[in-house]
Amino acid sequence: MNIFVVGASGLVGSHCTKVFQNNSWLTLGTHLNYPTSETVYFDPLIDNLKDFFSVHNFAPDAIVHCAALTNVDFCENNVETSHKATVLSTAKIVEFCKEAEIPLTYISTDYVFDGKQGPYSEDASVNPLNVYGAHKLEAERLVSSLKRNLILRITNVYGEELRSKNFIARLMEDLVQQPEKMLNLPYDQFATPIYAGDIANMVFLLLRDQKNGLYHLGSSDYYSRYHLAVKISSYFEKNKSVKFNPVQTINANQAAVRPLNGGLLNNKFLNEYPNFSLTNVDSYILKSLKNEL
C-alpha cells in the first residue's frame, strides 16, 4: 500500500511512517515548518495535490493527516491562522480524496469535549471550549463527509521525537540534565497520555483492515499534568533541581479554556483488537532509561 503522511516530521507522523515502512508499505511523508532528511515540503493551502504527486511520482492509496497546529493558546489568540491551518488545509485534502476516491485518516483531539464528564467514548456529545477544539471538530466534520474515512481522537501524546517537544520527553531530558527549574503544573486537568508508537500501530491495523469512522485512541493511564510529572520524577531519585508547583487551572492564566476531566476511552478499539498491548507511562520510562536517554 502507498501511504501519504501529512506532517511526517512530527511526533505522531514520524511514528506512523516508521510503522508503515516496517510493514512494507511505501510512504511519502511531508513537513511544513520542521524539515527532516526523510520528508518533503508540502503546504496543503498552496500546493496542488495532483501536481505534487506527479512531481514526486507517487500515487497514494490512502492519506494519513497528522499535521496540526497544536499550540492551544496561540490558536485562541490567532483565530484566522488556526482556521487556515486546521480547517482550510483539511478541506483541500478532503477534496482531493473525494476526487481520487481514496480514504483519509484524520488525527483529532479530546479537546472537542468540554471536560465535564471525561474520559469520553465515541458516542459522547461534543462541546469544545476553545478555538483549537472548535476547529478540530469542524475539520472532523469535513472528513466525515468522505465515504471512506477514519477520525482518530488522541490526547497527551508522548514518545521519541527529534525535537523532544512532547511534555514527557522534555521533562525526562530536564531530569537528566538537571537545570534549576520550577514548573507550574495544573493538578485539575486530567487526560489519558498515550504513546505515539501505540497510535502508529493502531493506525496501521485500522488501515490494514479497512475500518471506517470514529475511534478514540486512549491508554490505560489517567493523570493530571502535575501528577504525571511527579510519576516521572519518581524514577529520577537524584533530582534536586527540577521542582513542580501544583496550580489550579483557573489560576494558570492560559488564553484558552481547558477541559478539566478530559481523556478518551478506547473500548471500541480494544473490543475489535483485544490482543493489542498498550504501553503505559511506567513501561515507557523504564525502556527509555534502559536505552540511556
- Give pLDDT tens digits for 105-146: 999 999 999 999 999 999 999 999 999 999 999 999 999 999
The conformation of residue 127, written as its DSSP 8-state character, comes to -
Task: Count structural domains, the chain.
Answer: 1
In-domain check, residue 239: no
In-domain check, residue 96: yes
In-domain check, residue 175: no
Mean pLDDT, rounded, for 272-278: 98
CATH of the domain at 20: 3.40.50.720
pLDDT at 60 over 50: yes
Mean pLDDT, rounded, for 16-29: 98
Burial 145-154 (b: 16+ CB within 10 A, else e): ebeebbbbbb
Identify the pLDDT of residue 148. 98
pLDDT in tens, 33-52: 999 999 999 999 999 999 99
pLDDT at 247 over 70: yes
In angstroms, rounded to a whole number, what is the distance separating the alpha carbons of residues 280 and 193?
A: 8
The better pLDDT of the pair 293, 236 is held by: 236
In-domain check, residue 242: no
In angstroms, rounded to a whole number, what is the distance separating the alpha carbons of residues 168 and 157?
A: 9
Instruction: With CA atoms as reference, report the closest residue to 214 among 125, 153, 267.
Output: 153
Residue 165 pLDDT level (bands cut at 50, 70, 90): confident
In-domain check, residue 292: no
pLDDT at 203 over 80: yes
Q: Which of 64-73, 162-171, 179-188, 261-270 has the lowest mean pLDDT?
A: 162-171
Backbone angles phi, psi at 104, to 5 degrees: -120, 130
Mean pLDDT of the chain: 96
Residue 292 pLDDT level (bands cut at 50, 70, 90): low
The better pLDDT of the pair 162, 109 is held by: 109
Helices (H), the chain: 11-22, 49-55, 72-77, 79-83, 89-100, 131-143, 167-177, 196-208, 225-233, 267-272, 281-290
Residue matched to cell numbers 478499539 = 269
In-domain check, residue 229: no
Domain that holds residue 275: 2-161+192-220+262-279
Identify the pLDDT of residue 99. 97
pLDDT at 293 over 60: no
In-domain check, residue 234: no
In-domain check, residue 287: no
Residue 164 pLDDT level (bands cut at 50, 70, 90): confident
- Residue 3 in contact with residue 65, Cβ under 8 Å? no
